Amino acid sequence: VGFMSTNAYFTDGATFVNLDVEKSGFAALAARVDVDFVIYDRNNSVVKMEKVHLMPGQQSATLRASIPSRLELQDGDKTAGDKNDGSKEEGDKKDDNFFWVDMVRASYQKDDSPKPHRVSVYDHQCIEAMARLKDKARVVITEDRARAKVYMQPKGEAQHGAGQLRMQKSEVTHKPSRDKQTNLQVLVQRFNGSDGELKCRFRTEAA
């Protein structure tokens, strides 16, 4: 499991921010995974703990993270501005107002609800088999996607320009054909900005 993006933004005055979390890997779609989070302020003081459930058949979920109430523009803080010569003003503190959200625990949970139609019989059987093992089905937090940094933007400021791109899902399934070439549809998401046109290149590699 891991954050789909490790950077997020919210406007001054908001009370929460949505962070997307996904599970991936062997038989992940068939598993129920509970993930615990800790919200820290910019001084690394614990503010709150949150939890999200990723149910069988659900590859991603949204964590509605509460914004620390004491997070606000401090006296003397300035938003980034350009000088006449195009350089940034010395002492700009646009990114001083932020907080952290950390994944601290992820665990497999037995789920007795009816099997979702998106889960294959094979994946469902694999999860049941792993759950019977001594160490049960193991869930690992992806190290480089375990912490998200959430920035505050002053009211009226556009959301960080052109934004960023990501795959909507890190894993997709596709049934190939031995007789002909088949096409796979992979969805790309744009987030944290929407100004102008945004392009990307991609390549495919053999597994």
Cα angle 72, 22, 189; round to 5: 75
Q: pLDDT (tens digit, 9 = 90+) per residue, 93-119?
A: 445 688 999 999 998 887 777 666 566
As a whole number, mean pLDDT of residues 166-182 equals 80
State the sign of the Cα–Cα–Cα–Cα dihedral 193, 63, 68, 37.
negative
Q: Which residue has the higher pLDDT, 107 or 130?
A: 107
Q: pLDDT (tens digit, 9 = 90+) per residue, 53-72?
A: 998 888 889 998 888 876 54
pTM: 0.64
Element (H, E) at 35: strand 32-40
pLDDT of residue 184: 82
Q: How confident is the model at residue 138 (pLDDT cuts 50, 70, 90)?
A: confident
Summary mean pLDDT of the chain:
75
Q: How confident is the model at residue 2 (pLDDT cuts 50, 70, 90)?
A: very high
d(CA 160, CA 152): 11
Contact 161, 193 (CB under 8 A): yes
180's tokens? 């002909």
Contact 159, 194 (CB under 8 A): yes
Contact 95, 71 (CB under 8 A): no
d(CA 103, CA 37): 5
Cα angle 12, 15, 20; round to 5: 100
Check pLDDT > 70 for residue 127. no
Report which of 50, 3, 37 is spatially closest to residue 22, judged by C-alpha positions: 3
Q: Which residue has the higher pLDDT, 111 or 176?
A: 176
- Residue 28 three-state SS: helix
d(CA 93, CA 75): 11
pLDDT of residue 105: 92
Alpha carbon distance, N-terminus to C-terminus of the chain:
21
d(CA 107, CA 35): 7
